[in-house]
């Protein structure tokens, strides 16, 4: 009877915690929408430029968020491109190849890395830029490439941990079937284990997308500026929505400028939602492709 009462209390507490979290998220969303909906228009994104000409990169946007939107998408894409191969390969090594000592040592390192504040990673990226500028080329400056590398370092633990957990969660009979039929260890990993763990790996990628899209401290120290325009290449400075939100909220002089900050926050949430949806669709497609592969 006592155990039954404890289960009821725990269940009730779990439901109340979930409801509190949901209400908090809804409160933030409603607040942003109320404050920023009036600023949401094409002028906020493209300023005085023609939208179609701006999208085709024929006209520069000086007073809109279009360069920051492009910079954010480029930053997230590059960061994920750098992080996925390294993170997945490291997760495979920890799960399938690492010995007891190396697994414990690397797990400790990645646990520490996952707890490192983003400002520290930003300082690392800035110090790395200064080192390259001093010892290799005076042309190297804070830029999109340095920011994406620093952000990929920040999100590596998410991909590594989810990859490792997904591989280690595969049942033993599935692990041994291909080996028993004569497959090599590498073939077993590539043809059996990775397809079976794609959902877990994509979960880490989804978490990484959100982390890359919202971070301000790293990009503020490694390449984001207020009026860089659309980045011309990997070594160019760029604009990003998180930095714009930070900048406008600390430097605004009129309520209209603050409203632009709220509008930028809404656009950033929409971009994150679209990226999450794209990742979910990709995960679903990969899952079906591996389940029904001939």
Q: What is the CATH number of the domain that holds 206?
A: 1.10.3720.10
53-72 average pLDDT score: 84
Is residue 80 assigned to a domain?
yes
137 pLDDT more than 80:
no
24 belongs to a structural domain: no
> Rounded distance, CA 96 to CA 129, Å?
35
12 lies in some domain: no
pTM exceeds cut of 0.75: yes
- The verdict on residue 278 lying in a domain is yes
Say how many domains are in the chain.
1
Instruction: Decide: residue 160, CB within 10 A, 0-12 exposed, 13-18 middle, 19+ buried.
Output: buried
- Per-residue pLDDT reduced to its tens digit, 236-270: 888 888 888 888 888 888 888 888 888 888 888 88
Whether residue 90 lies inside any domain: the answer is yes
Contact 219, 75 (CB under 8 A): yes
**What is the span of the domain harbouring residue 122?**
40-291
Kindly indicate the confidence band of residue 286, based on its pLDDT and cuts at 50, 70 and 90: low
CA distances 268 to 8, 66, 120, 211, 240, Å, are 40, 12, 24, 12, 10
Q: Classify residue 31: in a domain, yes or no.
A: no
- pLDDT, position 1: 63
**52 occurs within a structural domain:** yes
pLDDT in tens, 75-134: 888 999 999 999 999 988 988 888 888 888 888 888 888 888 888 888 888 888 888 888
Question: Can you tell me the mean pLDDT for 212-239?
Answer: 81
How many Cα neighbours within 13 Å face the side chain of 292?
Answer: 6
Q: What percent of the chain has pLDDT over 90?
A: 3
Q: What is the mean pLDDT of the chain?
A: 83
pLDDT at 294: 47
Residue 79 included in any domain: yes
């Amino acid at each position: 009877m006592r155990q039954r009462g404890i289960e009821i209390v725990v269940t009730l507490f779990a439901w109340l915690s979930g409801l509190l979290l949901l209400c908090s998220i809804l409160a933030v969303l409603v607040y942003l929408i109320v404050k920023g909906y009036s600023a949401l228009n094409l002028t906020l994104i493209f300023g005085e430029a023609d939208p179609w000409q701006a999208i085709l990169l024929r006209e520069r946007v000086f007073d809109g968020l279009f360069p920051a939107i492009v910079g954010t998408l480029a930053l997230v894409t590059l960061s994920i491109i750098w992080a996925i191969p390294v993170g997945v390969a490291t997760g495979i090594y920890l799960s399938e190849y690492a010995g007891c000592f190396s697994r414990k040592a690397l797990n400790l390192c990645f646990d520490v890395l996952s707890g490192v504040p983003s400002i520290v990673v930003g300082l690392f990226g800035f110090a790395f830029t200064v080192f390259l500028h001093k010892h290799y080329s005076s042309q190297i400056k804070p830029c999109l490439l340095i920011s994406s590398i620093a952000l990929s370092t920040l999100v590596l633990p998410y991909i590594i941990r989810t990859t490792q957990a997904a591989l280690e969660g595969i049942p033993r009979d599935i692990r041994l079937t291909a080996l028993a039929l004569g497959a090599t260890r590498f073939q077993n990993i590539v043809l059996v284990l990775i397809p079976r763990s794609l959902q877990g790996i994509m979960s880490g990628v989804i978490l990484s997308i959100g982390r890359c899209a919202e971070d301000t401290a790293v990009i503020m120290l490694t390449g984001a500026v207020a009026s860089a325009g659309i980045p011309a290449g990997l070594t160019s400075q760029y604009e990003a929505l998180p930095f714009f939100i930070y900048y406008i909220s600390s430097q605004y002089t009129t309520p209209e400028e603050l409203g632009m900050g709220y509008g930028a926050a809404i656009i950033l949430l929409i971009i994150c939602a679209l990226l999450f949806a794209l990742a979910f669709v990709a995960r679903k497609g990969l899952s079906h492709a591996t389940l029904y592969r001939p």
